[in-house]
Structures are given as structure tokens and as C-alpha cells.
Amino acid sequence: MHHVLRRLFPAGAPDTVAAAEPSWRRRTVAIVSAAAVAGALLLAPSASTPASAAAPAYFTQVGSVRSVEYAGYRYFFANDDQHGLELWRTNGTASGTSLFIDINPGDAASHGLYATSLNSDANDNHYLLPTSNGLFLVGALCAGGTCSSASQSSPGLYRIDVAQKKVTLVASGKYDLLANLGRRVLLTDFLADHVIAFDSADLSLTQLSGYRRPVVDVLHREHAAAVVKGVAYFPAEDADGDRELWRSDGTQAGTSRVKNIRASSSSYPAYFTAGTSRFYFTADDGTNGYEIWTSDGTSSGTVRLTNHGTGTQSVSIVPNAPSLVTVGNRLYYYANTTAYGAELWTTSGTRESVRLVRNLGTGKTGAGIKHMTKVGSKLAFVRPGTRGDDVWVTNGTSKGTVRIASGTDRGMTPGAAAYYRVPQNEPVSVAGQYIYVRSVSGYQDLWQSGTVAETTKRIARHQGTSGRPTQLLPVGSRLFYTVPTKETTFAPTHYVPKFLTITAKKPPASFTNVTAPVIKGTARVGSTLTASVTAWKPSKITYTWQWYANGAKISKATSKTYKITSSMKGKVITVKVTGKKSGYKTTVKTSKPTKKVAAKP
């Protein structure tokens, strides 16, 4: 099996690495200069790398800070059963996918990175950081060339030299990620709960002050920070333990509390979700319970939007993945209310704009929504249908909330609810298309939709109930994914990489000047009726006709004229015209009915 996997990649070894001791170590820092760590090379090339690398078998999860796009490539950690868990990259092609740096040479992993935790969102504090000045990594890496246990690895902040394929230590210490602002990265000191601003331009680290500790967790959506226009917004506690809304642009002057939402206690802000110029979160002001709030980053611009609960009762956010999604500045959130059950709501940032998108469930049973994903200017999601899961899109209005694929023919895998908490099985958005998996008749298919039914189509088919496409990784307009396979029943599962270019299918245009056909002639047995239609636009539209009697199709009556037979006596006649043209939506219009057909004079 390894031979089959290796053939997918070209010969040519990625550089391996050797280690040197970190030049310094400091957990709590005020200002650390780049000169203090200049030349502190942790990893260097090795001549022991094999000529080719096998396909990756275990992957970091989609959408994780352990899998990021940078300079046309997606970087991720994977295990190919030859090198252990190491750093890979792909540009969405077979030739452009390879082991990038073998941090810990040999079969052992670059310790501190564990395959069992990469898809669990827990117990693995390793983050890839694409910045405006290069690619960085926070985590524990092997410092001695080869490591046999995690205790031999060195935690810290590392720079990944993409051109030289080297990893350089920037600062020793156990760090967690708070927010990536582009040039600056906000880190938390693992032991002291300090916020440390890392400047990727000069490699300096500055400890920020003004509060006791931040309360964030980038691996759990309800506790992650929101970043809007280069500023991070997050919950933090002051010296008195009061947990409120804070902000930071990575400088001391730009770090402050935004608003004391609950003066007598903590408001416990959570579920931060960024829009283009504002962000949303949940908080408890002590009067209205836990509700949806929004902020433009100022105290006066931080306001409560909803009051779904009665009195101090709180809104119930359905624990989905995720439950709050923004499309531009519009927020969609999945909440359980007394009036409607679990349904989709939306707001554009004002109390007046808060509304139920559409009551999709029966009564108060709830909509069963999952896989909420921004696709272009719309939100795509999945909910249970009669056979499998249906794919829906919405523009935020009830009329604009439509099903574009049913579980019966083009929807998601029946019973796909089992996968909704597993990130590597979630649908993704690539090139403005919603990419999802459907299982049917022994096949595992990949489908795409451009948010209208006419653009929904199958793009790949894989046979076997276990060959479900997984690890969907967007790389620009290409999709990199894997298909699990086994040589024998008891053999380990391997993942064969696949590649697709996702081409957006343009939604069909609509005809203009569309009018219903008109019937001319007398409704009498033996008479001939003639249908006509004012020319629709543009020109060169192909029209077809079909005549009906009392709503039933008349056999072989498919021309612009119809001679009424005796069997039509007492019935009303209508005609339908169908207009077709390449690149346009097929349109059907029906005429007004005639009077009841009279007998022949």
C-alpha cells in the first residue's frame, strides 16, 4: 500500500532538521529584541531523508489553527507512516504535495504533536501562524535532533523559513494562541496568564498589562476571540476577577476594556464572532439574562440586540459547530426559543433587524440545522429531510431560504448528523461553492453547489461504504481531500490523497419581458386554436408548446396550433410555453383558460 501512495508524489526530498540548544529562555517578558535570538537555529538540513515521501495518513483538522493557508500553499501536520507526525504542505496538486520539514527525523514524530489529539480539539497546543512577515509555529518541537519522548521536546515560538525549509527558535516558553492580527500575534503565557504581543516584523515580544488574565481558547469556538480590522476582542478578568469585554491591537496603548456590561458582577462574554466592521457575542447584563450582543469596538457601540428569554432567562444557543456565523456584517445564529424551538435567526446589527429567518421545523420541534457555512453572500446549511439530509441556502429572508438539494437525490449522506461535530468531515466553501459528501448505493460522492439548485452537481465518485472522502482542505480554488482505504480487513487504514479544481458554475440568467401565452380562436369542437407569445428577451429563444384540457396534458398536442376534437366538449383549454436558451434558466408560462368547449354547430 505504501508503494501505491508514494507514486502520487514526485521524487525529491524535503529538508530534514537537526537541533541546537535554544540561546535563551524566558516565560514572562517585558520586551525581547530580535538580536537576542538571531541565529538561534533549531533545525538544519539532514542528508538522511529518503528520496520520496509516502502519502499522509493522519491530518490536522479542517479550519483549525493547525492547518493554514500561506503564500499559495496549505500547511498542515500529517503522518505518512514513515516519518511520524510532521509538517506537510500542498498547493492542491499531486506534484505540489509533500512532506515539507521532517522536524524529528526518522519514524518518530516531532514530539509534542500527537495524531490522536489532532482531530479532538483538545490537549494539543500547537498552532501555525501565517503573518504579514512570514509563517510561525507555537508548540513543542524536538530540540535534540531525535526525541524518544515528549519530555525531550522544547516548547516555544518558532519561525518557519519557507525558502530554506528551516525552523528557527524565536522564544522559549509555553504559549497559547489568543489571536492572530496579521503583523502582530497575541499569545498567552501558559503559566502566568499574561498576554504577550509578538511582532512578526522585528521578532519582539511585549507583555501587555491592565488586566489580571484573559479567558480565551482558540480551539473551542465559544471561547475564541474575534478579530475585526486588526483588533482582537476577547473576555478578560481585571484585578477584582470581573470578567468583561476587552480589546487589543497588540500594543499597550491599544489594550483596554471596551465596556463594563454588568457593573455589579461579570457579564461572562462568549461566542465571539467577527463581521467585517463589527462583531457579535453573548453576554449577561444582569437584567435580561444571557443574550446576543454586538459591538463596533466602542463602549457606546456595544449594545444588546436580543431578549429571547423572559426577564433574566437566557437565550439558549444550540451547541452546534458553529452556532453563530457571519456573512459580511450579518449574523446568523441557531437558538432555541420557547416560541419556535431550535431555529435559525438573523440580525444585521440592530435590534430592529433581529428576526426568525424561517420556521423550518414543525411547530416547536426545531429545524435540526448543522454545517452552517458562509458561501459567497449567502449562508449554506444542512437539515434533516425525508431521506437523508437536505442542503439549504439563505440570504436572511424567509423567501430567500430555499432547499437546493434533497437527501433523496442530491443532498448529504443520510444520517450525516453523526458527523456534524467532526471537523474533518464538515462541508467546506471553495471558490464560492459549497462542497459536501453524499453516500448512496455503495458510493461515496463529492458534490458542489453554488447556492442555487441549477448549480448543484456531483464532482467526484468513490466506491465502497468505507471510502468516504474526508479531510476536505481548501487551497485557493482547489480542493485537497483524502479517501480512506485498507489492503485487508485487519490492515491499518491509509488515506489516499485526491485533488480537484473547483470551478464555479455561473447561475443561469433569467429571461426578461416574459409574458404568458395568449390563445386565439373559438372554443368549439372542430375549431383551431392558435397560441402566441410576445417575444421574450434576449432573442433566439427556443419555444416549445403543450396543450391541456381541464389541466390534463393532451397527447401529441405540442404545436402552436390545436384543432379541438369532440372529446374536448365541455372542457377548458390552456397552453403552456417553455422557453430555453443556453446560459438561461428554463422558463414556463401558462395561458388563461378558454371558455368551455362548445359543441360543433
Same domain as 202, residue 236: no
Looking at residue 150, its pLDDT comes to 56
Q: What's the rounded Cα separation, in Å, for the pair 393 and 213? A: 40
Closest-CA residue to 42 (of 86, 104, 126): 104
- Do 597 and 523 contact (CB within 8 A), yes or no? yes
Last residue of a domain, one of 332, 367, 402: 367
Is residue 350 domain-resident?
Answer: yes
Same domain as 196, residue 96: yes
CATH of the domain at 548: 2.60.40.2700
Q: Which amino acid is at 400?
A: G
Q: What's the rounded Cα separation, in Å, for the pair 111 and 103? A: 9
Last residue of a domain, one of 352, 367, 382: 367
Q: What's the rounded Cα separation, in Å, for the pair 260 and 282? A: 14
Last residue of a domain, one of 316, 335, 367: 367
Q: What's the rounded Cα separation, in Å, for the pair 463 and 207? A: 54
Closest-CA residue to 347 (of 365, 328, 364): 328
Cell, residue 162: 519557507
Largest distance between two CA atoms of the chain: 110
> DSSP letter string over 331-380?
EEEEEEETTTEEEEEEESSSGGG-EE----SSTTS----EEEEEETTEEE
The 3-state DSSP class for residue 491 equals coil
The number of domains in the chain is 3
- Do 526 and 598 contact (CB within 8 A), yes or no? no
Is residue 578 domain-resident?
Answer: yes
Give the side-chain half-sphere CA count within 13 A for 187. 36
Q: What's the rounded Cα separation, in Å, for the pair 349 and 351? A: 7
Same domain as 244, residue 130: no
Instruction: Give the burial string for 199-228 (b: 16+ CB within 10 Å, else e).
Output: bbeebbbbbbeebbbbbbbbbebebbbbbb
Q: Grid coordinates 459580511 are at which residue?
A: 328
Strand partners, 196: 187, 207
Is residue 23 domain-resident?
Answer: yes
Q: Is cis: bond before 538, omega within 30 of 0?
A: yes
Q: Which amino acid is at 321?
A: A
Same domain as 237, residue 188: no
Question: What range defines the domain where residue 534 resides?
Answer: 518-590
Same domain as 355, residue 333: yes
> DSSP letter string over 59-125?
EPPTTSTTSEEETTEEEEEEE-SSS-EEEEEE-SSSTT-EEEEBSS-SSS--TT--HHHHTTTSS--
Cα pseudo-dihedral 392, 395, 400, 402, rounded to 10: 0
Same domain as 112, residue 237: no
Is residue 391 domain-resident?
Answer: no
Looking at residue 19, its pLDDT comes to 30
Is residue 74 domain-resident?
Answer: yes
Same domain as 167, residue 258: no
Q: What's the rounded Cα separation, in Å, for the pair 37 and 524? A: 97
Looking at residue 496, its pLDDT comes to 77
Is residue 343 domain-resident?
Answer: yes
Residues of the chain with pLDDT under 50: 1-54, 57-58, 60-63, 111-123, 413-423
Is residue 435 domain-resident?
Answer: no
Same domain as 157, residue 71: yes
Same domain as 200, residue 216: no
Is residue 385 domain-resident?
Answer: no
Q: Which residues contact 538 (CB under 8 A, 6 or more apart)?
A: 511, 512, 581
Same domain as 57, residue 126: yes
Same domain as 232, residue 186: no
Looking at residue 410, its pLDDT comes to 53
Q: What's the rounded Cα separation, in Å, for the pair 430 and 446? A: 13
- Do 53 and 9 contact (CB within 8 A), yes or no? yes
Cell, residue 322: 458553529
Same domain as 215, residue 167: no
